[in-house]
Amino acid sequence: MTEQTAPDTLLQRVIVPLASESDAQKTCQSLLPRIEDSHGEVIFLHVIEKGGGAPDKASVEQMETRAEVLFDKAEAAASARGIPAERRLVYGTDVVETILEAAQNESASSVAFTPRAGNRLVRWLSGDTALRLVTESSIPVIVFPESAEEPDS
């Protein structure tokens, strides 16, 4: 490994949770250029929320199909920049706990995400995952602002 730029150790092996297609797109846009610069690798993660006894919000099969689409897009974006990427589909009753557990299992150097916009009501209704991720993590969490640049078409 003889790179010109000093690799940023925080971005060596990054867990990138993806919530939805639009989230995946935004996150990849703002995150991947930095990871490319520091020659890191990404592990895309998607959590399927389980009811743990109660019926789930939507069919698991439906959510799995959706996850595959997310992963395909994100991996395509990563491989376009030559970033090694893996995908992990995990299931859990608590999204934040599940993300952090996965990060631990993968011995990730950090968890990185782009917070989703939303007013207070939406945040409250969907559970403020961003805040909980930042406060409950035991490994570094990097919050990337939404990229201002237009995506390359």
Residues in the site for another protein, rule: CB under 8 A?
19-23, 49-63, 66, 71, 75, 79, 84, 86-89, 93, 116, 118, 122, 125-127
Q: Cα–Cα distance between 117 and 27 in angstroms, integer?
A: 12
Q: How does strand 85-92 pair with strand 13-17?
A: unpaired
Q: Which tokens hold the place of 13?
A: 């092996």
* Minimum distance from residue 18 beta carbon to another protein (Å): 12
CB 103 within 8 A of CB 139: yes
Task: Give the residue with the Cβ less far from another protein, 53 or 145.
Answer: 53
* Minimum distance from residue 105 beta carbon to another protein (Å): 11
Task: Give the residue with the Cβ less far from another protein, 25 or 137.
Answer: 25
Nearest to 1 by CA among 110, 126, 9: 9
* Minimum distance from residue 84 beta carbon to another protein (Å): 8
* Minimum distance from residue 51 beta carbon to another protein (Å): 6
CA angle 25, 36, 134 (to 5 degrees): 60
